[in-house]
Amino acid sequence: MIRRAIAVLGAAALVLAGCSQPASRVAPAPGVSPSASPFAGRLSGGAVAAPAKGIMLGAWVKPAALTQTGRVAAVRQYEKAIGRPLEIVNTYRRLDEAIDTTSDRQFARKAVLMLSWATGDTRSITLGHSDPVLRERAQEIKAIGRPVLLRVRWEMDRPGLAATIWSAEDYIAAYRHIRTLFAGLGVTNVAWVWCPTAEGFAAGRAAAYYPGDDVVDWVCVDAYAGSQYATLPALLQPFLAWAAARPKPIVLGEFGISRAWGTRRRVDWFTEAGTFVHAYAQIKAVSYFESDPDGNGENQQFRVADDPEVLAAFRAAFTRP
């Protein structure tokens, strides 16, 4: 989760705070077109197949209690609220936390489990110091026996992670080390996901962390309208321009608009976002950040289920057949 404002692109056609024009009337940012990607017809996705039509809908749903039953109950309640099952369930783990839990197995039976994995110090990984625990996690994922989307240290481009990421080169070396280790253990049910931030692409730093087409199955980005307002097409513009040159399906690993923008503007934001992602052929999955993180202000609270009008807009935008 990005705990700071998402930078707004100066060149994009944005609606800034204090403007009266609703988001639904704003044209997509320059350079962002809903036309088909040149790779749209042949996007495999590795162990998690990209749908030929439409998008898969997922979410991280923050539970009231971080227990196994609490996690399952939260997802069930959210599915009831949006009126359909999730096709992807996002969950977060540190390297020292087990993966093959009761809730993981329950989610994997009914949806694709997406693991957002905080893998720790990249140099420790590359030097082999983390291999024993990496092997444990690899065997746990293998034991799930169903396809898993694995976001290896998502948002690695955030400046706040520099103390453990070290550099783009270190991240790439660690990512490749993990993938090689998994392959050596015969783990074949992982779709490898690379997921930096929309903010990092806007700043020009994210692309340097890309491990390479040969070791990435899905490309991904996290994008938020937090303390500064931007439409989802505008937030995605730099990332989509980069991704258009790669034969990979796209998943929005996390996205949201904060409650600070009010019900009306959030409704407009979701309406435009839904139209855009359904039209953009390379986007094959989206995963909402259904959470009001503890300790964050209103501009970093993203739940929709507690606002009936916003929930209705979200349902209309993202629960199409």
Of the listed ranges 41-55, 118-132, 303-317, the one predicted with least confidence: 41-55
Q: Which residues of 219-257 are buried (b: 16+ CB within 10 A; e: fewer)?
A: bbbbbbbbbebbbbbbbbbbbbebbbebebbbbbbbbbb
DSSP line for 114-132: EEEEE---HHHHHTTTTHH
Which of 101, 103, 200 is closest to 159 using CA atoms? 200
**Residue 320's pLDDT band (cuts 50, 70, 90):** confident
Between CA 79 and CA 270 the distance in angstroms is 18
Q: What is the mean pLDDT of residues 215-225?
A: 98
pLDDT tens for residues 69-101? 999 999 999 999 999 999 999 999 999 999 999
Looking at residue 272, what is its pLDDT? 98
- pLDDT of 8 higher than 70: no
Does position 156 have pLDDT exceeding 90, yes or no?
yes
Find, among 143, 209, 139, 219, the residue nearest to 176 by Cα.
209
SS3 content of the chain, % helix, strand, coil (to 5): 40, 15, 40
Tokens matching residue 247: 């034969």
- Hey, what are 286's tokens? 């989206």
pLDDT at 299 over 90: no
Q: Would you say residue 111 has pLDDT above 70?
A: yes
pLDDT score of 148 = 98
Note the pLDDT tens digit of each residue in 17-48.
Answer: 333 333 333 334 445 555 545 555 568 899 99
* DSSP states along 69-135: HHHHHHHHHHHHHHTS--SEEEEEEETTS-SS-HHHHHHHHHSEEEEEEE---HHHHHTTTTHHHHH
CB 59 within 8 A of CB 315: no
Q: Please tell me the least confidently modeled range out of 39-53, 172-186, 233-247, 271-285.
A: 39-53
Decide if domain 23-318 falls under CATH 3.40.50.880: no
Question: What is residue 197's DSSP assignment?
Answer: B
CA dihedral of residues 98, 102, 104, 109 (deg, nearest 10): 150
Whether the CB-CB separation of 313 and 256 falls below 8 Å is answered with: no
Strands (E) located in 169-308: 190-194, 218-225, 250-257, 283-290
Q: Find residue 151's DSSP bridge partners.
A: 116, 193
Written as one letter, the residue type at 287 is S
Q: Which helix (H) or strand (E) holds 181?
A: helix 168-184
Nearest CA-CA partner of 19 in 224, 171, 228, 267? 228
Tokens of 93: 């783990």
